[in-house]
């Protein structure tokens, strides 16, 4: 059995286009990821609009008081139609974001190949 490193820092980049079904990051099996920074850069000469969201793969069970249940296979938009001026950049999420094993992050824009996304990620092995 191969061992997963306890902590691994990664930088993920992706050119973002208009395909709303293309994920830009998936947390590997046996890993919980922390997205430390999310930045998008407009590569065009006009304002572009970006969408960013989280896809929960598995159902979350309620806590002992019956709260916090969440269905699986659920997309949650975090940023919708956020305008980034020409030749400019923006941070999409303030603070950190937890991505559990097999959860995904999606980003898409109004025009093809119009935005460059950078994610700084800490992957931690689930023990």
96-102: average pLDDT: 95
Q: What are 75-94's pLDDT values in tens digits?
A: 999 999 999 999 899 999 99
% of the chain exceeding 90 in pLDDT: 76
Residue with tokens 């890993």, as numbered in its chain: 31
Q: Delineate the domains of the chain, giving CATH numbers in brackets.
A: 7-125 (2.60.120)
Distance CA(125)–CA(127), nearest Å, equals: 6
Cβ-count burial of 84 within 10 angstroms (0-12 exposed, 13-18 middle, 19+ buried)?
Answer: buried
At residue 1, does pLDDT exceed 50?
no
Distance CA(39)–CA(37), nearest Å, equals: 7
Using 50, 70 and 90 to split pLDDT, how confident is the model at 33?
Answer: very high
At residue 44, does pLDDT exceed 50?
yes
Q: Dihedral angle at the C-alpha atoms of 76, 78, 83, 86, nearest 10 degrees? A: -100
- pLDDT given for residue 2 in this prediction: 55
């Amino acid at each position: 059995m191969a061992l997963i490193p306890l902590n691994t820092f990664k930088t993920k980049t992706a050119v973002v286009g208009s395909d709303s079904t293309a994920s830009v990051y998936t947390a590997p099996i046996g890993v919980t990821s922390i997205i430390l920074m999310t930045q998008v850069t407009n590569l065009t000469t006009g304002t572009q609009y970006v969408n960013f969201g989280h896809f929960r793969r598995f159902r979350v069970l309620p806590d002992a008081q019956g709260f916090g249940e969440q269905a699986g296979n659920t997309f949650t938009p975090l940023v919708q139609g956020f305008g980034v001026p020409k030749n400019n950049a923006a941070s999409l999420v303030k603070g950190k974001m937890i991505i559990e094993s097999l959860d995904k992050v999606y980003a898409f824009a109004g025009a093809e190949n119009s935005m460059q996304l950078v994610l700084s990620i800490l992957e931690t092995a689930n023990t």
